[in-house]
């Protein structure tokens, strides 16, 4: 049985491990931290129907549905509190499944626990330092603790700061800062949403005068929220770490003060323990080299998308299942990696471009931001009339485990 060294235990890592196991490989996950990456930054995320469909091919879609909840509607508002329009998020699968929202921490834990349950081995405290091909067409990885591991394939599922990407191509681009700071949190008071008259299960978006704000009400009554704040300069890791929840709250309340609606009340009601540490937002410029004959990058390591696309998890999942199918069906590893890139590059770069376009609006300031706010209602209402159809290419993508030759059943 061929062995795959999978670098990273976030989301792409365990999904890739489960997919490769189904394809007949022996996967081992190497995680840099001393435990699964459940404590990484980030509040919550969405898993679109194309991602859930891909997860179903390895019988893992129920993990998202068990820890998340349906959010099938986007509702947009102006800074003055005026409702613009509602529109669906990504359509519906034949069994009625819609887009789900899930806390990042819960999804990490569920995916890694399921991988372990399926017998997949994990090695913790293994930060990748280097990797080199072996004479036998395999690969040997070296870790910061001095240990080594050898296999037939190394998969870099190690995120936007990927060391694997650097090893494959030292000239590869770095992450691109989008001009946006992110912040998020959870309001645990179950009565606030009733007091404010908020609808559970709806993803609300407010185009504020100085910040973009989104929130939803979970089935428990907990309010989940995020904010995007324009920032010309990327904040250092130290600056992000040193800024306290009280300081983030004060800054965000200042930006939201000019807006009507529930945003300021939600932020004010968020306890310090409910704040998610602020973070810079990035996407990934086109990476020219995804693989060698025995190493490959997937997910954010190859093509990080802006959070506004709602496709980060789904792209990683599609990558994982597609890679497994290529390794199952191609005559050798090198051919499989070339086929994987052929199947995935055009699609993911189109998604990255879509996310960059929507994030660009959030990064505007001054007159440019005013123009965006004035024109946005017009474009949103037109999009709502079109329904999901204008984004069918993104949401209708399907992968079939039983028919690899016809991987794409709709979309590109």
The whole-number pLDDT of residue 366 equals 46
**Same domain membership, residue 344 and residue 268:** no
Task: Report if residue 374 sits inside a domain.
Answer: yes
**Same domain membership, residue 296 and residue 245:** no
The domain spanning residue 201 has which CATH number? 3.30.9.30
Residue 391 scores a pLDDT above 80 = no
Of 236, 263, 279, which residue constitutes the final position of a domain? Answer: 279
**Same domain membership, residue 357 and residue 267:** no
Task: Report if residue 302 sits inside a domain.
Answer: yes
pTM surpassing 0.85? yes
Task: Report if residue 321 sits inside a domain.
Answer: yes
Cα 285 to chain center, whole Å? 16
Q: What is the pLDDT of residues 188-234, one digit of tens each?
A: 998 999 999 998 888 999 988 889 999 999 999 999 999 998 888 99
Question: Can you give the residue range of the structural domain that contains 299?
Answer: 3-175+284-406
Q: Could you tell me the two tokens for 398?
A: 């399907």
Q: What is the pLDDT of residues 6-30, one digit of tens each?
A: 999 999 999 999 999 999 999 999 9
Of 279, 311, 331, which residue constitutes the final position of a domain? Answer: 279
Runs of H (alpha helix) within 57-151: 61-67, 104-117
Q: Could you tell me the two tokens for 383?
A: 């999009």
Residue 408 scores a pLDDT above 60 = no
Task: Report if residue 411 sits inside a domain.
Answer: no
CA–CA separation, 41 vs 52, rounded Å?
23
**Same domain membership, residue 182 and residue 162:** no
**Same domain membership, residue 65 and residue 206:** no
Are the C-beta atoms of residues 336 and 330 closer than 8 Å to each other?
A: yes
Mean of all residue pLDDT scores within the chain: 87
The domain spanning residue 59 has which CATH number? 3.50.50.60
Task: Report if residue 412 sits inside a domain.
Answer: no
Element (H, E) at 164: helix 163-168
Of 279, 301, 316, which residue constitutes the final position of a domain? Answer: 279
Task: Report if residue 16 sits inside a domain.
Answer: yes
Residue 378 scores a pLDDT above 50 = no
The whole-number pLDDT of residue 406 equals 42
**Same domain membership, residue 89 and residue 110:** yes
Least confident of 4-13, 144-153, 344-353, 387-396: 387-396
**Same domain membership, residue 356 and residue 273:** no
CA–CA separation, 78 vs 61, rounded Å?
35
Task: Report if residue 369 sits inside a domain.
Answer: yes
What's the total number of domains in the chain?
2
**Same domain membership, residue 202 and residue 64:** no
Going by pLDDT thresholds of 50, 70 and 90, the confidence category of residue 73 is confident
Q: What is the pLDDT of residues 160-179, one digit of tens each?
A: 999 999 999 999 999 989 88
**Same domain membership, residue 193 and residue 169:** no
Q: What is the pLDDT of residues 268-290, one digit of tens each?
A: 999 999 998 888 988 888 999 99
**Same domain membership, residue 138 and residue 13:** yes
**Same domain membership, residue 61 and residue 16:** yes
CA–CA separation, 336 vs 137, rounded Å?
13
Runs of H (alpha helix) within 330-391: 333-362, 366-386
**Same domain membership, residue 275 and residue 137:** no
Are the C-beta atoms of residues 317 and 348 closer than 8 Å to each other?
A: no
Q: What is the pLDDT of residues 283-311, one digit of tens each?
A: 888 999 999 999 999 999 999 888 777 89
């Amino acid at each position: 049985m061929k062995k795959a060294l999978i670098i990273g235990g976030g989301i792409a890592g365990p999904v890739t491990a489960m997919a490769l196991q189904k394809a007949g490989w022996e996967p081992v996950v190497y995680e840099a931290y001393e435990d699964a990456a459940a404590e990484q930054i980030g509040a919550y995320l969405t898993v679109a129907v194309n991602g859930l469909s891909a997860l179903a091919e390895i019988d893992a879609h129920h993990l998202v549905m068990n820890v998340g909840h349906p959010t099938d509607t986007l509702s947009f508002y102006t800074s003055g509190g005026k409702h613009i329009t509602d529109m669906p998020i990504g359509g519906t699968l034949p069994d009625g499944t819609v887009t789900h929202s899930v806390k990042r921490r819960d999804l990490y834990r569920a995916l890694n626990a399921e991988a372990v349950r399926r017998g997949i081995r994990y090695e913790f405290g293994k930060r990748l330092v280097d990797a080199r091909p072996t004479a036998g067409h395999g690969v040997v990885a070296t870790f910061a603790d001095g240990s080594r591991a050898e296999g037939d394939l190394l998969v870099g599922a190690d995120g936007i700061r990927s060391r694997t990407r650097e090893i494959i191509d030292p000239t590869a681009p770095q992450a691109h800062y989008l001009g946006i700071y992110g912040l998020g949190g959870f309001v645990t008071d179950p009565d606030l949403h009733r007091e404010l008259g908020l609808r559970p299960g709806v993803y609300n978006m407010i185009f504020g005068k100085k910040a973009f704000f989104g929130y939803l009400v979970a089935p428990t009554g907990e309010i989940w929220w995020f904010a995007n704040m324009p920032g010309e300069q990327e904040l250092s890791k130290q600056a992000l770490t040193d800024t306290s929840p009280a300081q983030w709250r004060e800054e965000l309340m200042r930006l939201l003060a000019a807006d009507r609606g529930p945003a300021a009340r939600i932020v004010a009601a968020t306890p310090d323990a409910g704040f998610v540490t602020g973070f810079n937002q990035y996407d990934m410029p086109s990476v020219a080299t995804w693989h060698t004959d025995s190493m490959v990058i997937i997910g954010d390591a190859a093509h990080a998308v802006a959070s506004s696309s709602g496709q980060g998890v789904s792209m990683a999942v599609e990558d994982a299942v597609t890679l497994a199918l290529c390794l199952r069906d191609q005559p050798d590893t090198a051919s499989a990696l070339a086929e994987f890139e052929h199947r995935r590059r055009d699609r993911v770069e189109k998604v990255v471009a879509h996310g960059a376009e929507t994030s660009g609006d959030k990064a505007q300031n001054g007159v440019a931001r005013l123009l965006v706010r004035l024109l946005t209602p017009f474009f949103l209402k037109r999009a709502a009339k079109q329904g999901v159809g204008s984004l069918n290419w993104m949401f209708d993508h399907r992968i079939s485990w039983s028919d690899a030759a016809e991987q794409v059943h709709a979309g590109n």
